[in-house]
Amino acid sequence: MPTVMLSHALYEDGMRLLREQAKVIIADNSDMDAVLTQLQKADGLILRVGKIDRGIMEKCPNLKVISRPGVGVDTVDMQAATELGIPVVIAPGTNARSVAEHAVALTYTLTKNISESLSETAGGNFGIRNKYAAIELENHTLGIIGFGNIGHLTAALFAANGMKIHTYDPYVPMEEAERCGYVPHDTLEDCLGACDVVSLHVPLTPQTRGMFGKEQLSSMKTGAFLINCARGEVVDEQALYDSLISGKLAGAAADVMQAEPMDPASLLFTCKNFIATPHMAALTRESAARTSRLTAEGTLAVLRGEHWEHVANPQVYNHPRWLK
């Protein structure tokens, strides 16, 4: 039976699968240097939190697989793993539904003024109902920025609720949006100018870092709403604050911010029309179950010598370790 070490336990579905087919060590530690002796006994590592670099990998000649319960592999030295013949298992697509639903939840919370109404009602202000801050979403336009897995699902959920969908994604053919009955745009500014609600679903890349600055926020419709379930660094928070204070935007919601954990001293929290959740969009029971299962399945498959498809470094299968 192979030995699999985990930096921290996975959700129960994945743990059950692992325990059936492997000896399991839970390190409860994200510092791989500190748990090196245990890691040296392991055939596989599931890294929830923490980093693994070339130095550690080279000290663990038994290590045959490294797994990430997600898609981000910035915590793994990918070049070293590939050169050492170690597949890096990922769990793609397992959280798309949860994130899309969260974007919808934030949008309704914001556009129905739920957050302010909850606290005002609890404080005895029944009259908050007469603020008429809420709108209906039906027949309003939604801009999906980043039309990938999560963007597709979010668009479908909003379309089912009567919104008109516009998209901006220079890497997805226009025909794809048209096939879904949506309106694709070839520039971000055109898309922003057409939308009442804009929902961000791009990865953080050099091109998307700071993608929503003063200029882009000015291109949005006056009175529009911005929803960010992508990455905090995509939005310039000072520019966002300015556009909320000036009334350019009617509101903004974020599951992600530049500082995480979120900084309670952020000026954005002084705005009644800004709401935030703690990077929890993907953290549903269903998503955790799917992610933990796929991560465990991939880890065990690689340990059986199978060429598991969901790896971040598929070229690893050309390594002499895999050609034997």
Which of the residues are catalytic? 231, 260, 279
C-beta of 5 vs 100, nearer to ligand NAD: 100
Candidate residues 150, 192, 254, 262; the one interacting with ligand NAD per rule CB under 6 A: 150
8, 26, 198, 236, 289 from 263: Cα distances, Å: 26, 31, 24, 15, 30
Tell me the window of 31-39, 61-69, 226-234, 292-300 that interacts with ligand NAD (CB under 6 A).
226-234
Site string for ligand NAD, 279-308 (x = CB under 6 A): x-xx--------------------------
Q: Which of residues 58-97 bind ligand NAD (CB under 6 A)?
A: 95-96
Q: Tell me the closest approach of the beta carbon of residue 108 to ligand NAD, in angstroms.
A: 17
Closest contact distance (angstroms) between CB of 154 and ligand NAD is: 9
Q: Is 231 in the site for ligand NAD (CB under 6 A)?
A: yes
Please say which residue, 33 or 101, places its beta carbon nearer to ligand NAD.
Answer: 101
Q: Report the alpha-carbon distance of residue 293 to residue 198 in Å, rounded.
A: 33
Asked if residue 107 lies in contact with residue 227, where contact means CB atoms within 8 angstroms, the answer is: yes
* Contacts within 8 Å (CB) and 24+ apart, 132-141: 135/111, 137/107, 137/108, 137/111, 137/161, 137/162, 137/163, 137/197, 138/162, 138/163, 139/163, 139/164, 140/164, 140/196, 140/197, 141/165, 141/166, 141/194, 141/195, 141/196, 141/197
The one among 74, 171, 264, 315 contacting ligand NAD by CB under 6 A:
171
Q: Of 4, 63, 142, 145, which one interacts with ligand NAD (CB under 6 A)?
A: 145
- Binding-residue pattern over the window 176 to 205 for ligand NAD, x denoting contact by CB under 6 A: -------------------------xxxxx
* CA distance linking residue 36 with residue 28, whole number of Å: 13
Distance (Å) of CA 276 to CA 181, 206, 254, 256: 31, 24, 5, 8
The binding site for ligand NAD (CB under 6 A) comprises 95-96, 99, 145-151, 168-172, 201-205, 207-208, 229-231, 255-256, 279, 281-282
